Structure 1
């Protein structure tokens, strides 16, 4: 099972493996304070899609479709998603936490990414 946590929340031992899933580094936070184990930036939405979405709840359904299409299309996102799924599967029962920076905890790409990674192939 994958947990989700904002980058601005204090790291805890329960987080297990902390993976930053944003394309850009969270503002105002140092590498030491973030305490991530991996940065999987290629699985994040493209800059264009992120800017279009602007975390507008009214656009979330369409954003989810577009983001999933991005992850399925050929290129670095698809390859990176495949690597992430493999990595998560190899961790067996170790806790994993996807770290993201956006304020909106209900409408963001990390929720969608968690859902995709936890789906069986």
Structure 2
């Protein structure tokens, strides 16, 4: 897991953007993104709730519930399978990746 604004590293493996919106000020050819599964991202409503003052613990619980939905569950299973075969780097523009949806996804991929 890393911020998308950081330069790619040789050991990144598959680079997956896990944000619903394209990061501001970043050209697509500079991002080196291999996949952008928007169906894995938190809903707009959940994002707004969290950034409006929600707690990380409750955000995590609600986001994990969203990931149980059919489309997201299939995408998550596919990403898990890919991660079993080699390195996957989750990319986010979040200023605090450790308290973001990227952390939730990273933990779910490990577990």
Same fold by TM-score, threshold 0.5 exceeded?
A: yes
**Aligned length in residues:** 111
Contact 1:15-1:97 at 8 Å conserved across structures: yes
Q: What secondary structure, in the 3-state scheme, does the structure 1 residue paired with 2:108 have?
A: helix
RMSD of the TM alignment (CA)? 1.9
Q: What TM-score results when the alignment is normalised by the length of structure 2?
A: 0.88
Which ranges of structure 2 fall in alignment gaps of 5 or more residues? Answer: none
Name segments (4+ residues, structure 1) moved above 3 Å.
90-93
2:109 matched to 1:117? yes
Taking the aligned partners of 2:88 and 2:31, their CA distance within structure 1 comes to: 15
Select which of 7, 19, 22 maps to 2:19: 22
Q: Where does residue 64 of structure 1 map in the other structure?
A: 60
Taking the aligned partners of 1:65 and 1:88, their CA distance within structure 2 comes to: 19
Taking the aligned partners of 1:55 and 1:19, their CA distance within structure 2 comes to: 26
Q: Where does residue 101 of structure 1 map in the other structure?
A: 93
